[in-house]
Every structure is written in structure tokens, then in C-alpha cells.
Amino acid sequence: MVYRDPKIKYIFIVMAIFFILTKLLTTVITLKDDPSNFLVLELSPSLDSQLFLSEVNEKKYITLISDENGFIGEKLYYLVTFYLWWLIPVLISAFYLYSFAKKSINNQLLYPFFKHVNDRKDS
């Protein structure tokens, strides 16, 4: 099984941390009267991935990328900030809960809770 390699576990954990930090510390600012988009680093964490403002406050945001009508990697950024930032940690958590439950069943620690699973395995 692929997950037995500890390096892959750490890669998924680092990816999850990166996605969560990307979601919390970056946002796309679109100016109301201009088609310019700015990918900015926020100095205070926020769940907002897109803001519509009249001007960019230099004290509150650090501009990473700016371009008219979108920036390079915009679709990938939206994929990460709308879906992957929570999906990857949920999948990692589900895998660790499954691993814990499987070990518990094998060690008979939680046998009353997973008795039906052992019954299926024996038959």
C-alpha cells in the first residue's frame, strides 16, 4: 500500500499545511472600477479569498502578483482556496481515523464498537 511509506504521509501533511496557509493568508483583490486583479498577502488571517475594493491598502496587504483580467495560475489558486484547503486535511484525517480503527479492531481495543466489521472479516 502506498501510504505505508512515511515520506508520503509527510508530503500530504505539508501539502495540507500549505493549502491552509494559502487560504488564510492570501486573497485576490479586484478593483471596482478597473479590471485589475491583485493576489495579495494579508497581514491578518482571513477566510476571504476574493475582495472587491476601490483601492489597495498598502499597509494591510503585500502585493504578490497583479495583472489585468486575471493573473497566471488564477484557476489553480481558486482550486486551492475553494476546495483543496479543506479537502486534503479531511482526507488525511479520514485515513488516520481508518488506520486507528483498523489497529483497534486488530488489537480488540474497540471490539464492541466494530464487532460487525470483525464478523464480516471472519466469514
Domain that holds residue 78: 2-122
In this predicted structure, what is the pLDDT of residue 1? 41
In this predicted structure, what is the pLDDT of residue 33? 84
Whole-model pTM above 0.75?
no
Query: What whole-number distance in Å separates Cα of residue 90 and Cα of residue 111?
Result: 25
- Structural domain tally of the chain? 1
Query: What whole-number distance in Å separates Cα of residue 63 and Cα of residue 56?
Result: 9
Q: Which regions in the chain score pLDDT beneath 50?
A: 1-2, 118, 122-123
Q: Per-residue DSSP letters for the chain?
A: -GGGSHHHHHHHHHHHHHHHHHHHHEEEEEETTS-EEEEEEESS--S-SEEEESS--TTTEEEEEEEET--TTHHHHHHIIIIIHHHHHHHHHHHHHHHHHHHHHHHTSSTTTSHHHHHHHH-
In this predicted structure, what is the pLDDT of residue 110? 55
In this predicted structure, what is the pLDDT of residue 2? 45
The per-residue pLDDT for range 90-115, each reduced to its tens digit, is: 888 888 787 777 776 655 555 566 55
- One-letter identity of residue 58: E
